[in-house]
Structure 1
C-alpha cells in the first residue's frame, strides 16, 4: 500500500471480514423478506396484495442506496435515537479478538464469560447497514419468485397434480414452489455483484470499515496497489459464488448436467 506501507494482503485481511459479515446478513435478510413478499400474492393474482408486492419489488430495487441509507440514519439514529448512526463497534469498548467477524467473536466471548455487551454492541451497529442493504436487494427476490411461481403454476405437471385431487396448498408447496425457487437460486449468484456495488455506498455512508470502504479510500488517495488487490479479491469472490451456485443448482435439478 502506497498510503501506509502495509502489505495489501494485510489490509484486505483486516477489512474483508467486516464486508463478509455485512453481506451475508444482508443477503439472508433480502432472501427472507423478498421470498415472503413474492409468495404473499400467489393466493390472489392481480389482487391488492399482489400489486403491493410488485410495487415493493420495483420500489426497493429503484431506490438509490446512499439516499436510502441517509434516510434510515436520519429516522432511526437521529430522530428516534434507537441505533448508532455509523461505525462497526462502540468506541467505548474494545473489539473482540479472534477471526475479525465481530458477531462470531463476541458470541464466543459471551458464552465464555457470560458478558453480552460485546455482542449487543456488534448487533446494534450491524442492524441499520444490514437492514438497509438487505431491503434494497429484497425486491430482486420478490419479483423473481413472483414471476417464476406464476409461470410454474400454469405448467402441465401442476395441472396434472390438481386433476388428481390434491389440495391447492400441497400443489403449491410440493410441486410448484421447489421448481420456482431454482431460478431464484441462480439469481442469488448474480445478486452478489449487486451486493458489492451497493455495499460500497452503504459502507461509505455508515462508515463501515469493510473492503468497499477501503476501496473508496484507496481510490481517493490514488493507492493503486491497494485498488488492484481489492478488485482482484472482489472479482474472485464473485466468480467463486457464481460457480458454487451453478453447482448447487445442478445438484438440486437433475435435468442439468455438466
Structure 2
C-alpha cells in the first residue's frame, strides 16, 4: 500500500504566457499601440489650439490684405475661403481637409501649404540633420569628459559651457558666428552659392536635400560649397541641443558609475577604460535617446530663428515670412505640419527606445 509520502502531486498546468493573457499581443506590440493611440488626442489638441488661436487673433484676410483691397474684394476673398461661415463649420471643414492631406492655401501668394512642405521641408530636414550631428559631436564626448573629471576644473568649465550655449539665443549665436567668420570669406547665407544652386536644381531625381543633390550631380566643388554653407547654421543650432546632451550624458554617466554591476566589474580588476566604455557608457546613452524626441521640437523651434538669420530657405524661413505678411492661414498650415513632424519623430524615438531598453515595454 502506497504511503502518503510516495504520492506524487499532480503537475500544475504551465502558466499562460503574458502574450496569451493580453490577447496574443507581445509587450512590445502593446507598448507601441498605446504610444500610437496617445498621439491621436495629442494631435487633435494641438491642431484645435492652432485653429482657435489663429481665429482669436482676428480676421486673417483683413490682417493680410487689408489696405490693399477694397471692402468688396475682401468680402469676396472671405467667401471664397469660407471665412464667412460659422466657426464650427470652418473647424469641421479644416479637420476634414487635414484628414485628406489638405493643409489649406496661403492668402498672399495662393500657394498650397502641402507644396511648401515639399519645397521647403527638405531644407529644414537637412539643417536639423547637420545640427544633430553637431550636437552629438559636442555633447556626448564632452559629457563623458565632464563625468570623468567630476567636480574638477574641466567639469566646471564644461558645465558653464553647457549652460551658456543652451541659454544663449540662437539668432545671437548665429550673428556672432557671421561676424566672426564672414571677414575671412566663409559663406554665411543661403544653402549654396548661386552657381551651385542653379546647377544642382537641374539634377534628376531632385530630392530637395542639397547635399544629396550635389552628390548626385557629381561635382566635388559643389559638394564642398554645400558643406561650407551648412557649417555655421549647423553650429548655431547644434550647440543649443549639444548643451542639453552634455549635461544629460554627464548626469547619467555619474549615476551609472555608482551601480552595483560597475562596482563588481572594478572589484574583478577590470580596467577603468573598459568599465567606462563597456559597462557604464552604453547604459548612460539610453536616456539620451529618450530625450531626442523632445529635442526634435527644440530643433524645429530653433530652426525658425536659425533659418532667418542665415537665409536658409526652409520651413522656419517661410513661417517667418508669412508672419511678417500676417498670412495667418499659411502660419496655421505650417505650424500644423511642424506639430505632425514632432509627433511622428516622438513616436519613432519611442520605437527605438523600446528596442534599446526592454524595461520600457512592461
User: Same fold by TM (over 0.5)?
Assistant: yes
Q: 1:65 aligns with which of 170, 175, 186?
A: 170
Instruction: From 137, 142, 152, give the equivalent of 1:32.
Output: 137
Q: Is the 8 A contact 2:139 2:245 kept in 1?
A: yes
Equivalent of 2:207 in 80, 99, 102: 99
Report matched runs for 1:127-206 at 5 Å: 127-206=231-310
Deviation of the 1:222 alpha carbon: 2.1
Residue 49 of structure 1, CA deviation: 1.4
Within 5 Å, give how 1:72-87 maps onto structure 2.
72-77=177-182, 79-81=183-185, 83-87=186-190
Deviation at 1:44, TM superposition (A): 2.5
1:215 and 1:230 in contact (8 A); partners too = yes
What is the rounded CA distance, in whole Å, between the counterparts of 1:2 and 1:153 in structure 2?
A: 57
- Return the alpha-carbon distance in structure 2 between the equivalents of residues 127 and 32 of structure 1: 13
Q: Deviations over 1:71-117 (max 9, x none)?
A: 1001101x222x1121122123414131100100101111xxxx323
Query: 1:225 deviation in Å?
Result: 2.5
Q: Give me the whole-angstrom Cα distance separating, in 2, the residues matched to 1:70 and 1:76.
A: 10
Q: 1:231 — aligned with what?
A: 335
- CA drift at 1:252: 0.9
- Farther-moved stretch of structure 1 (36-45 vs 206-215): 36-45
Residue 109 of structure 1 corresponds to 217
Asked if residue 10 in structure 1 is aligned to residue 118 in structure 2, the reply is no
Larger Rg: 2
SS in 2 for 1:92: helix
1:89 paired residue among 152, 176, 192 = 192
SS in 2 for 1:89: coil
Partners of 2:141 and 2:209 lie apart in 1 by 28
Question: How far apart in 1 are the matches of 2:301 and 2:199?
Answer: 27
Distance 1:131 1:49 in 2: 22
Secondary structure of the corresponding residue to residue 204 of structure 1: helix
SS at match of 2:150: coil
Contact persistence 2:162–2:243 (CA under 8 A): yes
The alignment yields a C-alpha RMSD, in angstroms, of: 1.3
Cα distance in 1 for partners of 2:231, 2:169 equals: 19
| Offset of residue 45 of structure 1 | 1.5
Rounded to whole Å, the distance in 2 between the matches of 1:232 and 1:5 is 18
Confirm or deny: 8 A CA contact 2:192 2:229 kept in the other structure.
Answer: yes
Partner of 1:249: 353
Could you say what secondary structure the match of 2:148 adopts? coil
Could you tell me how far apart the structure 2 residues matched to 1:35 and 1:161 are? 23
1:64 Cα deviation after fit: 1.1
SS at match of 2:353: helix
The aligned length equals: 252
TM-score normalised to structure 1 length: 0.93
Contact map agreement 2:147 2:251 (CA 8 A) in 1: no
Q: How much does 1:136 deviate?
A: 2.4
